[in-house]
Structure 1
């Protein structure tokens, strides 16, 4: 029989965190190589960009909540942020499995700015996965001091990913081909 101290041990989650941190990017990359003929009932990029914007807002609200010592609200908002990020990922992959990638049509300095934002967004979206998972586990297992330490890194990384996701959408949206 497991005792509660063992259940609350963050180390129990390490293998799962490592596995998910590797599996999620690999599965996403693999799914990008699969094209399915399916006409979606809605054009997804503005939907998942909106989810990214909502996630950014939820992250900021969670930060404000914890600064005001509203722990339960913070917890609920963080669970919401994770759920929104998962929803974003599913819709993002679904769109890319059913649609051709859109090329950015801007020129000059704007093109370099776009690609800088896009590349850093992609790199950070992969890098943030273990940070989010570790931070979450430390929170749910009441490892509060270590949770606070890593949350100071996780929050700006995750916020950067959500905000730059919206910026990338805004910058590429004039180049989408609407069927």
Structure 2
């Protein structure tokens, strides 16, 4: 807690932040949806998996750089990298939701040794992705509260999990669309 600021006020700030994040997410989904099909036709639905993998790759790079910078005491660079990673991950999430709302789930049809590799990667990716979002939000809330001790404690868990999820997101895309597309 900040000196002189009651816990209730900090709780309100956190709720305002979460509500703003929710509203921004809904607006971003609406805007990307408009770009993809309805108005400008800039991005087709079939482009979204590659775009989403690109967002995951950008997140991977900036999470790694942010981790490097904080371990070397460059907190401003760390902050810039982590903000970029959060924005990139948010863009991924918006694109992912739009794609799966339109297309549904894509069946891999994998069997044999490919399935033995693909499905454990996919399962761990999906399960840890559910953990990543709340961890990243909790880490950000600690930043806004200026609770660096708690931020550091949560980030020690959030960063490796988030990094794993962003890397495996790219791997899942490559397996499903480039290396072993269904029907090959």
TM tier relative to shorter chain: 0.7 to 0.9
C-alpha contact (below 8 Å) 1:53/1:166 kept by paired residues: yes
C-alpha contact (below 8 Å) 1:17/1:130 kept by paired residues: no
Q: Secondary structure at the match of 1:90?
A: helix
Distance in 1, Cα, partners of 2:18 & 2:6: 19
Which residue is 1:149 aligned to? 153
| Equivalent residues in 2 for 1:85-100, closer than 5 Å | 85-100=89-104
| Equivalent residues in 2 for 1:135-146, closer than 5 Å | 135-146=139-150
Determine which structure has greater relative contact order: mean sequence separation of CA pairs < 8 Å that are 6+ residues apart, divided by chain length: 1
Change (3 A) 1:71 1:94: same
| Equivalent residues in 2 for 1:112-123, closer than 5 Å | 112-123=116-127
Which residue is 1:171 aligned to? 175
Cα RMSD for the two superposed structures: 3.2
- Structure 1 runs of 4+ aligned residues shifted over 6 Å read 16-20
TM-score between both structures, scaled by the size of structure 1:
0.76
C-alpha contact (below 8 Å) 1:10/1:143 kept by paired residues: no
| Alignment: residue pair count | 162
TM-score between both structures, scaled by the size of structure 2:
0.74
Distance in 1, Cα, partners of 2:165 & 2:98: 19
Change (3 A) 1:161 1:4: farther
**Unaligned residue ranges in structure 1 (runs of 5+):** 28-37
Deviations 1:143-167 (A, max 9, x none): 1111111111000110111011011
Shift of 1:125: 0.8
Q: Secondary structure at the match of 1:153?
A: helix
1:158 aligns with 2:159: no
1:65 aligns with 2:74: no
Distance in 1, Cα, partners of 2:143 & 2:167: 24
Change (3 A) 1:100 1:131: closer
**Unaligned residue ranges in structure 2 (runs of 5+):** 27-36
Which residue is 1:125 aligned to? 129
